[in-house]
Copies of this chain bind each other. A is one copy, B any other.
Amino acid sequence: MSKTNPGNFFEDFTIGQVIRHATPRTVTEGDRALYTALYPSRFSIPSSAEFAANVGLKPAPVEDLIAFHIAFGKTVPDISLNAVANLGYAECRFHQPVVPGDTLSTSSEVIGLKQNSNGKSGVVYVRSTAVNQHGETALEWCRWVMVHKRDAGSPAPTEVIPELAKTVAAGDLIIPDTLNFTGYDFTAAGEPHRFGDYEIGEKIDHVDGVTLTDPEHMLATRLWQNTAKVHFNTEARPDGNRLIYGGHIISMARALSFNGLANAQLISAINAGAHVAPAFAGDTVYAWSEVLDKAETSAPGVGAIRLRLVARKGRDESMTLRGEDGKYADGILLDLDVWALIPV
């Protein structure tokens, strides 16, 4: 019998099933350095141990998305190795900031199943949780993916579609215990704009563009131990291109958003996300943001700002999300809805 992992097919999932994912992964200063080399990130908390200590975070956490990518990558061999498509995210909340030395272990619970009408595939909903070595939750999120059936003839499971929040309520955001923005150093952080300077509905063109390359996205995707074949193997797709991991685009857009949102420091939640189109080496990625909402928090000096973060191929100064037909505008790669923490 083959010893390699065939992944799970739609029939292998049952409601309530809990899958403990391999392999636990210890985060290090090496991850922080590589992240800086891979993405044009300059956010001052992960960049500077001194800045982080001054806002109550000591030792300095790594970029929030490092934890997200590592935890997400762990779920791939069990959840999405046979996926047709990654359909959506919801209710992603960051709990404890992850610092070098933390070991993340990830597990997923199956919370929904819906066979497609063609009988050949189905949608699997999971809630995944990454905990550190102390058993504390680092982050949790839901996602749903379309997965092939092994056998089209196998019976459909009872349909269960979970109710997922359209957006994480501001009151449900988890603020790190010790976070305190009252002595925030705006000059060191790079921009003067604070909570009160952003208006709901405001759009920000982040101006800069980065042209993607194959070696860089492969380095990133391997760093998160994400093993999906299409990212690495030119023989895996008819066109000979390597498909770029969607998370690479998320991190690129987030890093580009520094220019205009330098103080939107910590990602607190991902409310929703769509990978609108695939990205390939040679594409030049730009980003723009839209302020969707704002909320106060109980932490000293800390506000929450809800942002639509859009990545696109080629710059669009008009920052158009959808055409008159309601479809995403040409060139859009990513439409991500996040809550970030920002000094008031």
Chain B residues within an 8 Å CB radius of A206: 4
Q: Is A117 an interface residue (CB 8 A)?
A: no
Interface pair B4/A36, CB less than 8 Å apart = no
Number of copies: 3
Provide the bound-state CA to CA distance between A216 and B271, in Å: 35
Interface pair B39/A222, CB less than 8 Å apart = yes
Stretch at the interface among A138-146, A259-267, A304-312: A259-267
If A29-B29, A31-B33 touch, does A23 touch B3 (CB 8 Å cutoff)? Answer: no
Stretch at the interface among A176-184, A232-240, A272-280, A330-338: A232-240
For residue A254, give the distance in angstroms from its CB to the closest CB of chain B.
14
For residue A239, give the distance in angstroms from its CB to the closest CB of chain B.
13
User: Which residues of A, 213-268, contact B by the 8 Å Cβ criterion?
Assistant: 213-216, 218-220, 222-223, 225, 227, 229, 232-236, 242, 259-262
Tell me which of B24, B51, B209 contacts A23 (CB under 8 A): B51
Interface pair A234/B284, CB less than 8 Å apart = yes
Interface pair A40/B222, CB less than 8 Å apart = yes
Provide the bound-state CA to CA distance between A26 and B57, in Å: 14
- What residue in chain B is nearest A36 (Cβ atoms)? B223
Give the interface centre of A24, A213, A219 by most chain B CB atoms within 10 Å. Answer: A24
Provide the bound-state CA to CA distance between A2 and B30, in Å: 35
Interface pair B3/A204, CB less than 8 Å apart = yes
Q: Is A120 an interface residue (CB 8 A)?
A: no
Interface pair B225/A47, CB less than 8 Å apart = yes
Stretch at the interface among A164-172, A189-197, A319-327: A189-197
Q: What residues make up the interface of A, taking CB atoms closer than 8 Å to B?
A: 2-5, 20, 22-26, 28-34, 36-44, 47-51, 60, 77, 100-101, 103, 105, 133, 187-191, 193, 197, 204-211, 213-216, 218-220, 222-223, 225, 227, 229, 232-236, 242, 259-262, 282, 284, 314-315
